[in-house]
Chains A and B, each alone.
Chain A
Amino acid sequence: MNQIDVRAAVVGVLVALGGYLVSFVMVAPALAGSLLALGDVGTAIVLTLVQLGLLVLVGALVASRQRRRFGLDTRTAAVRTALTAGAVGLTIVLVLGAAAAAATSAPGLTPGILLTNAVVWLGGTALGSLLVAPGPARGPAYADRSTRIPARADREAGEATLEHLGVTVVAVLLITALLAVMTPAGRWLTDNIKAGLCQIVTLGQGPCEAPISLQAASHKPTDPCVLSTSNDVRQASVQVTFISVKGGGTIRVEELSDRTFRVSAEGNGGVGVTEGLGGGVSLTINDSIHGGEAQLQGAAYLEAAGGATWKVNAQEKDKLVNYLKDERNWATVQAGLSSTPVVGPAATGVTWAGKELWNWLTGNDYTPPQPDELYAQAGIGADGSASAASIAQGASVSAAASTALGSRVNIKTGQTTLYYATTVSGAAAATQGYGPVEGGIAQAEGQVKVLVAVTIDTEGNPVKVATQGLAVGNAKATANSLFLGELANERASGGALLNASVEITGPETQRIALDLLQATGITQAGPVGQARSAYDALSTFTAAARDRGILTSQAVQTDSDTAFGIQAGGAIGPVALGGSFKNSTDTVTSGEASYFDGTGWRPWTDCAA
């Protein structure tokens, strides 16, 4: 039969559309990170091959189905049916794409897009149909049609048909996509697919991550890390939407490894976080002016009092940053005007109206979204002395004390993360088996300042505890011992930023986390028993992180030769400070990152620029 088999064509269209949606709407976005790492050419090759392969399969499926129903005289007998399926599928995909582009005001269908898709869809399906050899219709059910080639007497039992193969392939794709995006095992699957794709495209020569086990995949950090940070600081008293900056303002942009950005507007000195009046822009002027414009580059941070953070994509980032800078700079101008008597207030009103008019004429009516997070320093309120226990006569003395730095609230989830700095000192316990080390260090003795971040849910229950220490200078051995269980860090001879975190999922993790919080004085020990030493409690905690949590190490270079405390700034690992809290003014730059997979260390390839 050389007529068009409509049913076969319909099946082909459905399979083609289903495979296209699964491939390019579900799987491809999930693998976007590794696709980017392949480069533009590699990405184009991979995506084109996937689409072409799918359509060749569809063409073969259509031809096979037509052969089974009606038989095929020649290889070209099913081409028209395959081309029909290809044309219909092409039309539907292009119409859907054009509609989506129109809805999002994105560029629409171009001649180039049309031509490329036509070649792939029509050429692929036609090619697939040519792969199917001629043959008779199958089964006695078709033998009574005069247009059919009589069925052969012998049956073709036990063979998987192309039709079944096509349906099976689509089902596998669908299940794979669901696993990749919805289940923990999907991470293992996605990571291994990434590794395989990387090996194929780079012919084994690229920086590809080695295939990992399911167990190892559970230790891989899921939060993106900060790749770079830029700060734009103005030392002036201004107030912009969301942020009232009495001592100056910083607009911080952090690029994360998942290609999103964290934009923070924060203030220094008497900061306040404000809401816009009337849902729009709110400009208020503080009469104080502190110095002139200042630009701050690199990793040094000012002591920020608090602010708001937005998590945005690249497109939104530019709009938001420009808006925040514009508002801040404009308010600076008006601050200068307001300090001038008589003329000042008049000029303020005039210039304000002019700005609004300019915004209206140029269409600059951007309204920033609500921030995702708010954060602020705790200051003297959380000072260890600001409690009845600290001044009560005859009160029992706590063995350790932490300093509350501040807190950050996720507006969407309601979770609060509390940050504390504590100094941990001591030596590795004898039971850990440390022996003499060349160079004279028999054990890791000393002290290291550790950051502890406790995340609590809306009920006040801790759900996650994370710790961070900087292994540099005199603190290196102690920090390595505490976090890594070893004196030396082979991955970062110069120094490393170490992060260990455990999610509280059951009684044991709860006990380990509570021990740490009590030992560091963040919470009070119970009436029975005495809190363990902070050193031992932290060692147990980091061991739990190595066993069932997340442990990362990022090489750092610092010009400080002394034990350094907390690296403020964005998330290098699970602990996110957002540049909120005071730290040394030393310059710190970060290098390669790695994570512990339960048995050894692996490169944290996602944390790479």
Chain B
Amino acid sequence: MSVAVAVLVLGACSDGSSTTDPSASPVSSMAPVGTASDLTPQAGTGDEESFGDVGTVTVPEGTTATPGTPTTAGAEQIVYRMPDGDAQGFPALQITWQPDAPAGVYEQSWSTENTKKVDTTVSDYVRSPVEWPGSDASVVSTWTEEVALQTGDSVDVDATALWLQSPDGTVVLAIAFSPAGDADSSSIEALRSITLS
């Protein structure tokens, strides 16, 4: 009897952090490796907006929000154009979320990185691990994209993508687009304000 009680007590006191504890989380084969991203959460200034029931983002006053048109089944999207936008509409923040996503953040970002290898308009693609409050798995991807214009010219746009995964299985992809070289753009500031519900 005392042994049984001891077992129950030990079990109840288990915090699951031991590597021999079946509930410990192993490393994903598709998780990014290398130096962690220096992107950190930070409270934004301006208006707090909700995207679905998934999370919130703080955008500067005067930001316009329009629904996007994702082709992935079940996904929703909002495009926030910052008030200091240029002729091409950058900086801008695009948030896409997919409830009950069939593939997690690591898998989707891994496969997306592979896909970018044949995209000749994308350069300097880097995928890095990151920690984000409330997210089960988080990844940061950065790249530079050459956008062809109707005038025949082209512009370079820097992209910073934050992948988040909520405990209910929703995958969120927030991409901050900004003119090349603008590391402190308003879209990145808004990106850092994203919080999961």
A and B co-occur in one complex: yes
> Are B75 and A395 touching (Cβ within 8 A)?
no
> Are B29 and A273 touching (Cβ within 8 A)?
yes
Give the residues in chain B near A396, CB-CB below 8 Å: 148-150
Looking at B11, B107, B161, which has the most chain A CB atoms within 10 Å of its CB? B107
Of the candidate stretches A218-226, A275-283, A501-509, A562-570, the one touching chain B is A275-283
Q: Do A391 and B94 contact each other (CB < 8 Å), given the known contacts A246-B169, A269-B169?
A: yes
What are the 5 closest A-B residue pairs judged by CB atoms, nearest first? A346-B11, A381-B112, A305-B103, A376-B107, A407-B114
Of the candidate stretches A99-107, A195-203, A204-212, A348-356, the one touching chain B is A348-356
Give the residues in chain B near A284, CB-CB below 8 Å: 22-26
Cα(A262)–Cα(B29), bound, Å: 20
B-facing mask of A415-437, CB < 8 A → 1, else 0? 01010000000000000000000
Give the residues in chain A near B103, CB-CB below 8 Å: 270-271, 305-306, 376-377, 379
> Are B100 and A385 touching (Cβ within 8 A)?
no
> Are A456 and B79 touching (Cβ within 8 A)?
no
> Are B147 and A404 touching (Cβ within 8 A)?
no
> Are A392 and B107 touching (Cβ within 8 A)?
no
Within 8 Å of chain A (Cβ to Cβ): is B1? no
Within 8 Å of chain B (Cβ to Cβ): is A338? yes
Complex: chain A residue closest to B97, CB-CB? A380
Interface positions, chain B 145-183, Cβ under 8 Å from A, are 145, 147-152, 155, 157, 159, 161, 163, 165, 169, 171, 173, 175, 177
Complex: chain B residue closest to A458, CB-CB? B117
Cα(A460)–Cα(B171), bound, Å: 28
Q: Do A271 and B145 contact each other (CB < 8 Å), given the known contacts A376-B111, A378-B112, A416-B117?
A: no
Of the candidate stretches B34-42, B46-54, B66-74, the one touching chain A is B66-74
A347 to nearest B CB, angstroms? Answer: 7
Within 8 Å of chain B (Cβ to Cβ): is A409? yes
Cα(A305)–Cα(B144), bound, Å: 28
Give the residues in chain B near A344, CB-CB below 8 Å: 11
Within 8 Å of chain B (Cβ to Cβ): is A384? yes
Within 8 Å of chain A (Cβ to Cβ): is B58? no
A222 to nearest B CB, angstroms? Answer: 24
Looking at B22, B96, B163, which has the most chain A CB atoms within 10 Å of its CB? B22
Interface positions, chain A 579-597, Cβ under 8 Å from B, are 582
> Are A404 and B115 touching (Cβ within 8 A)?
yes
> Are B71 and A403 touching (Cβ within 8 A)?
yes
Complex: chain A residue closest to B68, CB-CB? A385
Within 8 Å of chain A (Cβ to Cβ): is B190? no
> Are B120 and A349 touching (Cβ within 8 A)?
no
A-facing mask of B92-127, CB < 8 A → 1, else 0? 101011101111101111111011011111000000
Q: Do A462 and B118 contact each other (CB < 8 Å), given the known contacts A338-B23, A393-B87?
A: yes
Candidates B101, B111, B118; contact of A454 at CB < 8 Å? B118
Within 8 Å of chain B (Cβ to Cβ): is A382? yes
Within 8 Å of chain A (Cβ to Cβ): is B64? no
> Are B71 and A395 touching (Cβ within 8 A)?
no
Candidates A277, A283, A382; contact of B111 at CB < 8 Å? A382
Cα(A282)–Cα(B21), bound, Å: 9
Q: Could you jot down 21 A-B contacts, CB within 8 Å?
A: A271-B107, A272-B107, A274-B26, A274-B28, A305-B104, A306-B111, A308-B29, A342-B8, A343-B8, A349-B7, A377-B103, A377-B108, A379-B98, A380-B171, A388-B145, A392-B147, A392-B157, A394-B151, A395-B148, A418-B115, A462-B118
Of the candidate stretches A39-47, A134-142, A163-171, A516-524, the one touching chain B is A516-524
Candidates B27, B104, B115; contact of A382 at CB < 8 Å? B115
B-facing mask of A358-381, CB < 8 A → 1, else 0? 000000000000000011111111
Cα(A379)–Cα(B11), bound, Å: 39
Candidates B79, B97, B100, B108; contact of A378 at CB < 8 Å? B108
Q: Do A376 and B23 contact each other (CB < 8 Å), given the known contacts A274-B28, A381-B163, A524-B121?
A: no
Give the residues in chain A near B171, CB-CB below 8 Å: 379-380
Within 8 Å of chain B (Cβ to Cβ): is A304? yes
Cα(A144)–Cα(B60), bound, Å: 115
Cα(A136)–Cα(B150), bound, Å: 96
Candidates A346, A374, A392; contact of B12 at CB < 8 Å? A346
B125 to nearest A CB, angstroms? Answer: 11
Q: Do A380 and B98 contact each other (CB < 8 Å), given the known contacts A277-B26, A306-B111?
A: yes
Number of interface residues of B (CB under 8 A): 75
Give the residues in chain B near A285, CB-CB below 8 Å: 22-23
Cα(A145)–Cα(B28), bound, Å: 82
> Are A392 and B169 touching (Cβ within 8 A)?
no
Within 8 Å of chain A (Cβ to Cβ): is B89? yes
Give the residues in chain B near A274, CB-CB below 8 Å: 25-29
Give the residues in chain B near A308, CB-CB below 8 Å: 29
Candidates B16, B19, B96, B150; contact of A380 at CB < 8 Å? B96
Give the residues in chain A near B87, CB-CB below 8 Å: 393-394
B168 to nearest A CB, angstroms? Answer: 9
Give the residues in chain B near A386, CB-CB below 8 Å: 70, 94, 96, 112, 161, 173, 175
Within 8 Å of chain B (Cβ to Cβ): is A247? yes
> Are B19 and A277 touching (Cβ within 8 A)?
yes
> Are B10 and A346 touching (Cβ within 8 A)?
yes
Looking at B104, B161, B163, which has the most chain A CB atoms within 10 Å of its CB? B104
Candidates A269, A305, A342, A522; contact of B11 at CB < 8 Å? A342
> Are B71 and A383 touching (Cβ within 8 A)?
yes
Within 8 Å of chain A (Cβ to Cβ): is B17? no
Complex: chain A residue closest to B93, CB-CB? A391
Within 8 Å of chain B (Cβ to Cβ): is A334? yes
Within 8 Å of chain B (Cβ to Cβ): is A268? yes
A84 to nearest B CB, angstroms? Answer: 60
> Are B102 and A377 touching (Cβ within 8 A)?
yes
Within 8 Å of chain A (Cβ to Cβ): is B14? yes
> Are B25 and A380 touching (Cβ within 8 A)?
no
Cα(A462)–Cα(B177), bound, Å: 29
Cα(A407)–Cα(B104), bound, Å: 14
> Are B148 and A384 touching (Cβ within 8 A)?
no
> Are A342 and B12 touching (Cβ within 8 A)?
yes
